[in-house]
Structure 1
Amino acid sequence: MIKGDDTVGDFEKFVADVTTRLSAMSKGELFVVGDGLDRDSLWLTFLDSFPAGTNLRFRERSEYDCSTCRVFIKHFGNVVEIHNAQIRTLWSGVSASDPVFSVVAAAMDEFVGTLPLSGIFRSAEAQYGAKTTRALRDGQVEVWNHLYGRVEKQHRSTDAGAARGTFDAAVQVFQRGLAELSRPALDTVADLIDDNALYRGAEHSRAVTEFRSLQNRWTQATDGRAFVFANAMNPAARLRNTVIGTLVQDLSAGVDLEQAVRSFETKVAPQNYQRPTALITPAMVKAAMKTIDELGIEESLQRRFARLSDVSVNNVLWVDNDTQSRMKDGIEGLLMQAASARLPDPKPQEIPVVAFLKDILPGAESIDLWVANRHEPHFVSLTTGRHPAAPRLFTWDNDFAWSYGGNVTDSIKERVKRAGGNVTGKLRVSLSWFNHDDLDLHVFEPNGDHIWYRDKRNKLDVDMNASGPFSREPVENVTWTRNIADGEYRIEVNQYHKRDSSPVGFVIETESDGKIEHYSHERAVGHKETVEVGRMTIAGEVITAFRPGKDMQAGSAGKDLWGITTEQFVPVSTVMYSPSYFDDSEVGNRHYFFMLKGCVNDQPARGIYNEFLRRDLQPHRKVFEVLGDRTKCEPSPDQLSGLGFSSTVRSSVVAKVTMTGGRRRLLSIQF
């Protein structure tokens, strides 16, 4: 405080400067610094900043020690503004020409400027301090000047605490969004919106664009926290907590693009929505090409079906006489050993595959396989690179790979195992499909017990695509390990949630006493539709009969698959291991391939699977998932296709083998 006629410094000029500065700041947003600050420290800093001899004792206290000015300092002293992402205090540039108060203002500016931003300024009061006060002394009226300031309407609130809490929450959301939402994910979502690949995506275009701009400016700001405070109330700053923000979050966290978009569409789209375009964006293509260029593998990605002439004679276990001349290395080095022949038995003789390869194959002149409908999931094609000299992609030292029907790498049983299902029980019923739909398996036991996702009865152990993450190779599995009641079991499949427009059905696989059978539903299942798969008769814990539903196809009637007719014998051209076991390699599970004459996969087949990739390519799995889908091998007439069997999946196939000398054997090869 100071009397109106005091001449030590120009206090009135100082008051006017502070008032003008506060008024100018109040046109924008006001903030406070010093979370948990003892406001007395502001007042003590103010008093201690006066140069020596300029704040002398006046009556009981020093001249500027005034309760009215103290109120102003305690409430306005730590108020700041943010200009161009820089913090500026109330004291910045005040009374620059005054020898006393320029020192005071500089000291306050320095002290307040070191305190961290803590929140937004809101007050229930309209004013702090007073311009003047008057006192009567010795019959004279004394006029005292003070620091004072008004709280403008936009900074007042009847519930200042709630207003500050709302702002603090906005800051936290913005900070998390800036840190967690990656730029590549934002770019991908922006591309999807531009390509009209998101349901009502255009509604979110402005928010995504604005947030990307904010994030870019944040990374360039010298004071990131000041930038966050200055922009926290921008509607785009809360992107993380919006529905489009959940999509960006998923992509930033590494969730597969299609899975993330499906999750988004589940939240915003009607159940019958069908996405119009593929989820491949220009930015993804550009990123993929950059990775390909850096790794020098562009030629390696060009795949095709393998021909017999590609395969070395050293990597086949047996070759038909008519086929030998087409082998890559001719017949040299391939020793055909004779073996004693036996008369064929009335029914196939069971033989483990290892014994078949060791004892039967060397003396075989021709082999025919009984290709049953149940073998449909075993149809397999061998693939290779278009450029033999290109760098290898896989964990084995050759350029060959394989693809089972439906563009998978293994059987339904193996998929159930990978999903954590039990495949070792006495009786098993598994459901498999190939899109993001949520199909549900229902089994009604003879006593009326209903096994389904709401009552699993310790038998349903895999229930996929009920919620994210979604898979394009989902399975459900019911297994009985003991106490299997005799009687009739009814099996149904229900479409609980149709998410995909792809026209694919499903396959049911049953296993009992080591025998695997398949029943397929060719058309897609409509939303909430229930399909009766069939009725299964159990006696002595073994399936004795299966009566398929009217829309199901079972294994009794032959059908055309890949150029051959099932439920009959088909000649074998070549027998080999999977490429992971070529040239003395032993990588992963061993597969046994029986390539069939006339077997031609008429659908494009994947030549690249992530599970095949060598270790240094694993960090680029997302890129290769896209590439594998976009670089499929086009059908060719001279391809190597046939039946494949995994060493990890129990199965069998009947073979009619003509031995050297013309004798025949009927064998059931056990895998």
Structure 2
Amino acid sequence: MGDFQQFVADVTSRLTAMSKGELYVVGDRLDRDSLWLTFLESFPAGTNLRFRERSEYDCSTCRVFVKNFGTVVEIRDGRVRTVWSGVSASDPVFSVVAAALDEFVGSLPLSGIFRSSETQYGTKTTRSLRDGQVEVWHHLHGQVAKQHRTTDVGPARGAFDTTVQVFQRGLDELTGQALDTVVDLIDDNALYRGAEHRRAVTEFRSLRNRWTQATDARAFVFANAMNPAARFRNTVIGTLVQDLSEGVDLEHAVRSFETKVAPQNYQRPTALITPAMVKAAMKTIDELGIEESLQRRFARLSDVSVNNVLWVDNDTQSRMKDGIEGLLMQAATTGASAARLRDAKPEEVPVLTFMKDILPGAASIDLWVANSHEPHFVSLTTGRHPDAPRLFSWDNDFGWSYGGNVTDSIKEKVKRAGGNVTGKLRVSLSWFNHDDLDLHVYEPDGTHIWYQDKRHKLDVDMNASSPLSNEPVENVTWAGRIADGEYRIEVNQFRKRDSSRGGFVIETESDGKIEHYSYERAVGQKETVEVGRMTVVGEVITAFRPGAGLQSGSAGKDLWGITTEQFVPVSTVMYSPNYFDDNEVGNRHYFFMLKGCVNDQPTRGIYNEFLRGDLHQHRKVFEVLGDRTKCEPSTDQLSGLGFSSTVRNAVVAKVTMTGGRRRLISIQF
């Protein structure tokens, strides 16, 4: 029989050493019962000298110790070590017992933290009287260290279990890329009070990196669950990382974070494009071999083939690519009168008729550029390297960008947002940041149309909550009977989030006629702006009286180097590039390039709507690149007015024919 007293001393010493650190338990209640049986059955044959009445190591005292301390473990150097590890290595009997217990406990999963309301388990010695002699019995025993004792065992273990679950979910769900992105945003000063959160993000990132390299990942989670960063996933900065990890758009994710922590008038100082994002984008570009294709610029007339120009002004011909051969037009008559046409009612001509029957014989064209045409200002763009692989779904490298770096009109944005644009009468609101503007319309009988009553006419209400858009719209459409009378239109700032790109544009449509009214001043928190009063007779807008600060088509203003509310000479007429040559992809646009029209702002040359099919999987990368690779302004660019074939609109043109005849034409789109 081995030396049981030495075995007890070894176990006690081992437990005391372990108790200096944190203790954990493995398995469950049934495993504790099995451990006791393992203890009794692990003695080598012939060494278990059990007494029928009592013994030292198979008594109730030792059983209490084994069941309560036997499944206790420590985590050292990333490994789980039991209370039986290395015990009685020199004793041939109890070293076998300790090894069996160590193996059994080591096979059980970690289940929680060790906490107890008891002071000790087991008793060092007991005494009994036998045949008139006092016998001393030695037993397994151990003290519960002060840091492991508590009167509320259940809540203490429950709190630890909850932390482990939060920590594990954070490690599983929060990606390294998302953590890197948030650190970059903080370092770039692109997050509200981001520096306060940097330590939490970097600490969790460090833990996650170590977890991915850990030999025993579960042990790592338990060993580090007391770290404050273990609950990172449930913090406000953790929700930002969670959103990014789930694929939420960066802009929307950050806006959601800012609504929780930033004041309503907070304006982010820098753009949400980080060095890490650019690096990741460049990796994709290298893999696709399209680096040169991303270098964009404003297109010049000399870039455009003669085959893709529908009409060109005589003074512009010499600058065209391929010269003037092949143009289906006659030389302009010299000495044509430049006198202004008298006011007259223009003749309405469908655009296809204008292109077929009038344009080929035109010597000069002047377009009436109204303030309402501001959303129609457009620029043609192209690649810097003509031989680079094509990015777009049509067979050329040209693209286009409307004013405000969008690809289509307010009406098209309303359509994309699910709004109705086919009714008899429409009032739409468009703005250019993440504010929550609300459109209010009061009908002649006092009926109030607004976001709290969207059952009938208001069908789009954007930026009330996430996801937020920087191209939001709201829309009111009348599809049924429209009452005659005066309609009052207002815009209210329900929640101000941005200080940049303030103001808004109201678009009205009635009987196929679209008008715009712009408000260029930022709308303050809870401020209400009276847009104007609209008179409707016979279901048609007959008059519109703009409110204070609203600009309509009456007062000219300088836009892109030209003055509105007057005739401006046209240099070139062409289709949009998706209809160049034999292409017929998507909606066709009609471009009237204007003399002296120069977009002086960096302009996007890449839009996700343009991308060819095999690049759609990289849309997020291209969204970043499109904003990062804008075309720099140039003086010889092709810019002017553009009109979509899918949107009813009109523009007045003063046309001088080659024979000297002058015509005032309202081109109907």
Identify the TM-score tier after normalising by the shorter chain.
over 0.9
Q: Distance in 2 between matches of 1:444 and 1:36?
A: 71
1:258-657 correspondence runs (5 A): 258-336=251-329, 347-657=345-655
SS of 1:557's partner is: coil
2:334 corresponds in structure 1 to: none
* Cα drift, residue 313 of structure 1: 1.0
Deviation per CA, 1:83-132, whole angstroms, max 9, x where unpaired? 12111111111111111111111111111111111111111222111111
Q: Distance in 1 between matches of 2:243 and 2:457?
A: 32
Q: Distance in 2 between matches of 1:496 and 1:224?
A: 48
Structure 2 residue runs of 5 or longer lacking an equivalent are 332-341
Describe the shift of the 1:62–1:136 C-alpha distance in structure 2 as closer, same or farther (beyond 3 A): closer
* Cα drift, residue 60 of structure 1: 5.3
1:255 corresponds in structure 2 to: 248
Q: Distance in 1 between matches of 2:229 and 2:41?
A: 45
TM-score normalized by structure 1? 0.94
Aligned length: 659
- Amino acid paired to 2:218: R
Q: Is the 8 A contact 1:345 1:666 kept in 2?
A: no
Q: Is the 8 A contact 1:35 1:116 kept in 2?
A: no
1:13 corresponds in structure 2 to: 6
Deviation per CA, 1:335-389, whole angstroms, max 9, x where unpaired? 3499xxxxx9963333332333333333333333222221111110001122222
Q: Is the 8 A contact 2:56 2:139 kept in 1?
A: no
Instruction: Find the partner of 1:202 among 195, 204, 209.
Output: 195
Q: Distance in 2 between matches of 1:84 and 1:63?
A: 35
Q: Distance in 1 between matches of 2:301 and 2:231?
A: 59
Q: Distance in 2 between matches of 1:471 and 1:496?
A: 15
Bigger drift between 442-451 and 316-325 goes to: 316-325
Instruction: Find the partner of 1:25 among 4, 12, 18.
Output: 18
Q: Does 1:96 align with 2:89?
A: yes
Q: Distance in 1 between matches of 2:188 and 2:651?
A: 49
Q: Distance in 2 between matches of 1:583 and 1:599?
A: 25
Deviation per CA, 1:62-100, whole angstroms, max 9, x where unpaired? 874322111111111211111121111111111111111
Structure 1 residue runs of 5 or longer lacking an equivalent are 1-7, 339-343
Deviation per CA, 1:148-194, whole angstroms, max 9, x where unpaired? 11211211221211111111111111111112222122122222222
* Cα drift, residue 208 of structure 1: 1.4
Bigger drift between 371-380 and 404-413 goes to: 371-380
1:128 corresponds in structure 2 to: 121
SS of 2:314's partner is: coil
SS of 1:488's partner is: strand
2:337 corresponds in structure 1 to: none
* Cα drift, residue 535 of structure 1: 0.8
1:113-262 correspondence runs (5 A): 113-262=106-255
- Amino acid paired to 2:414: V
* Cα drift, residue 457 of structure 1: 4.1
Q: Distance in 2 between matches of 1:599 and 1:493?
A: 32
Deviation per CA, 1:409-443, whole angstroms, max 9, x where unpaired? 11000001111111111111111111111111111
SS of 1:442's partner is: strand
Q: Is the 8 A contact 1:35 1:117 kept in 2?
A: no
Deviation per CA, 1:250-305, whole angstroms, max 9, x where unpaired? 22223333332222222112223333333333333333333334433333222221
Bigger drift between 102-111 and 587-596 goes to: 587-596
User: For the aligned residues, what is the CA RMSD?
Assistant: 2.2
SS of 1:399's partner is: coil
Deviation per CA, 1:509-530, whole angstroms, max 9, x where unpaired? 0111111110000121122221
Q: Distance in 1 between matches of 2:401 and 2:270?
A: 26
Q: Distance in 2 between matches of 1:260 and 1:369?
A: 44
**Percentage identity across paired residues of the two chains:** 86
1:5 corresponds in structure 2 to: none
Q: Is the 8 A contact 1:302 1:387 kept in 2?
A: yes
Q: Distance in 1 between matches of 2:201 and 2:478?
A: 51
Q: Does 1:83 align with 2:81?
A: no
2:339 corresponds in structure 1 to: none
* Cα drift, residue 205 of structure 1: 1.8
* Cα drift, residue 227 of structure 1: 0.3
- Amino acid paired to 1:270: P
Q: Distance in 2 between matches of 1:576 and 1:36?
A: 82
Deviation per CA, 1:555-592, whole angstroms, max 9, x where unpaired? 12332222223233322222211112222122222211
Q: Is the 8 A contact 2:433 2:501 kept in 1?
A: no
Q: Is the 8 A contact 1:488 1:536 kept in 2?
A: yes
Q: Distance in 2 between matches of 1:312 and 1:620?
A: 31
1:43 corresponds in structure 2 to: 36
Q: Distance in 2 between matches of 1:119 and 1:37?
A: 15
SS of 1:323's partner is: helix
- Amino acid paired to 2:249: D
